[in-house]
Amino acid sequence: MQKLVLSQSLGQRLSPQQIQFIKLLQVPTAELDTRIEEELEINPALEEGKEELEEDNYEEDYEEEATDDFDIEDYLHDDDAGYKMHGDGNGPEEEKEMPIAMGTTLNDQLMTQLGFLGLDKHQYKIGKQLIGSIESDGYIRREINAIVNDLAFSQNVNTDEDEVESVLAKIQDFDPAGIAARNLEECLLLQLERKLDQSEAVKLAYQIIDECFEEFSKKHYEKIVKKLNIEDESLFKDAIDTIKRLNPKPGGSGSGAVRTQFLMPDFILTNQNGEQVITLNSRNAPDLRVSPSYSEMLKAYDKGDKKDKKLKETVGFVKQKLDAAKWFIDAIKQRQFTLLNTMQAILEYQYEFFREGDESKLRPMILKDIAEKIDMDISTVSRVANSKSVQTEFGIYPLKFFFSEGIATDSGEDVSSREVKNTLREFIDKEDKSKPLSDDKLEKLLKEKGYQIARRTVAKYREQLNIPVARLRKEL
């Protein structure tokens, strides 16, 4: 039996202004221009330009109201609409276009080569389908039988696996070498096939991949030597070096038009008479205002017949656009305040690093430390840290660079995990590659340096540094 039950619950909902602010906060400086242009296109009540500001204690009310209950005076004053942000700089106007290096895509290159094969219409469709199945790194990971089905259902091409394999073999002869392979082993073999007449080392390299790929991938060189009965150590080393020079991702260099992006810092840190001063990149300071013509529309309404239904509908539309424009401007101002507030807190927390640029001076710092310092939510700090960067006299750093957990030392102090990682990397860089250091040995070396660290933490940091285990670092 069903019955209705009335219940109460507490919950929080984000206001339109908060949603607007959160979205803008995540946008990097390099993309802010685009976001503003989008808003200008969809909202005619928002304009670019400066206005003379009047001293006024104007307060905006963004609560949703019926069109016949609002105070028209709220929309006749634009004293808070035109503005220029702090930290806007005095230099010339910056170039807004992000340069794009255009070129033919990998797909275009392969289709051009397909045209040179002189295939009939039937085989050409198969080749086109295969090329369309090649992923950005140059591999075909879709099963051949699935491609046969794709051709039947989407292209109305009846074929079988043998015919598709035959066309695939032709495509695998295209440039770049190794293209259209179905796995790494096939990719390396395709590249080596083109070199087989060059040297004995290449022939041995082909044999190693063809017969001992699993052993090679695990760097079990002793097993390879034994299995292939290799007596010439120098030839074996040359063969291994030949394999290492092959390209494991043949599609990587020709994946298409490349967007050339310059790392654009969101903050500029300068030293002014010994004091570290933070300013926002000037691109964070757009000139925006509420459209005067839209305010004039409301003036006309104030003088007109307030019972006119069509006029009320028009004014409702105008009011909505004015609200949206003011919300957007306010969200950008909030964005600027939050960015500066967060960066200032990071500067104060990591002052010794910013003064000297020495990574060993970095203090352990987590998102919660900054959130408490600026009295904001951790998620807000996270949004700033994950997408922003700062330009210093020592280089440009992403803000997340300054966040790290702490590791205790023998002296009882906490040091940044970044300092421990740097020390770990130094040990590995200097190790004997014929006898690389295990995680246990690395743990002992770090403890000798005074870092209280567990072996599992050593393994975690090594993985974060993208350094393989000792066995895979071994070299002849």
397 and 414 together in one domain: no
- Residue 295 inside a domain? The answer is yes
End of a domain among 225, 254, 283?
254
- Residue 196 inside a domain? The answer is yes
pLDDT tens track for 134-154: 988 899 998 999 999 988 887
Which string of DSSP letters, residue by residue, matches 196-243?
Answer: TTT-HHHHHHHHHHHHHHHHHHTT-HHHHHHHHT---HHHHHHHHHHH
Inform me whether the pLDDT recorded for 34 exceeds 70.
yes
pLDDT tens track for 409-465: 665 555 667 778 888 888 888 888 888 888 888 888 888 887 778 888 888 888 888
119 and 250 together in one domain: yes
> With bands split at pLDDT 50, 70 and 90, how would you rate the model's confidence at 219?
confident
Q: What is the mean pLDDT of the chain?
A: 78
Tokens of residue 29, six digits: 């400086």
> With bands split at pLDDT 50, 70 and 90, how would you rate the model's confidence at 208?
very high
Inform me whether the pLDDT recorded for 469 exceeds 90.
no
465 and 370 together in one domain: no
Look at the chain and report how many structural domains it folds into.
Answer: 3
Angle at which helices 233-244 and 200-217 pack, to 10 degrees?
A: 70
**Are the C-beta atoms of 33 and 54 separated by less than 8 Å?**
no
- Residue 101 inside a domain? The answer is no
> With bands split at pLDDT 50, 70 and 90, how would you rate the model's confidence at 7?
low
Q: What is the pLDDT of residue 256?
A: 41
Name which residue leads in pLDDT, 47 or 255: 47
Residue type, 257: A
112 and 244 together in one domain: yes
Q: What is the pLDDT of residue 166?
A: 92
241 and 309 together in one domain: no
Q: What is the pLDDT of residue 342?
A: 92
Inform me whether the pLDDT recorded for 285 exceeds 80.
no
pLDDT tens track for 64-82: 333 444 454 444 444 433 3
Tokens of residue 59, six digits: 């307060």
73 and 164 together in one domain: no
328 and 249 together in one domain: no
End of a domain among 254, 283, 309?
254
Averaged pLDDT for residues 88-102: 38
180 and 311 together in one domain: no
250 and 110 together in one domain: yes
388 and 311 together in one domain: yes
The alpha carbon torsion through 27, 30, 34, 39 (nearest 10 deg) reads 40
> With bands split at pLDDT 50, 70 and 90, how would you rate the model's confidence at 206?
very high
CATH number at residue 418: 1.10.10.60
Inform me whether the pLDDT recorded for 340 exceeds 80.
yes
Q: What is the pLDDT of residue 51?
A: 57
Closest-CA residue to 170 (of 114, 128, 210, 122):
114
pLDDT tens track for 121-135: 999 999 999 998 998
410 and 353 together in one domain: no
Alpha-carbon span 225 to 229, nearest angstrom: 6
- Residue 269 inside a domain? The answer is yes
pLDDT tens track for 265-277: 888 988 888 888 8
Domain that holds residue 111: 106-254
- Residue 96 inside a domain? The answer is no
End of a domain among 220, 254, 288?
254
Inform me whether the pLDDT recorded for 233 exceeds 80.
yes
Averaged pLDDT for residues 299-325: 73
399 and 453 together in one domain: no
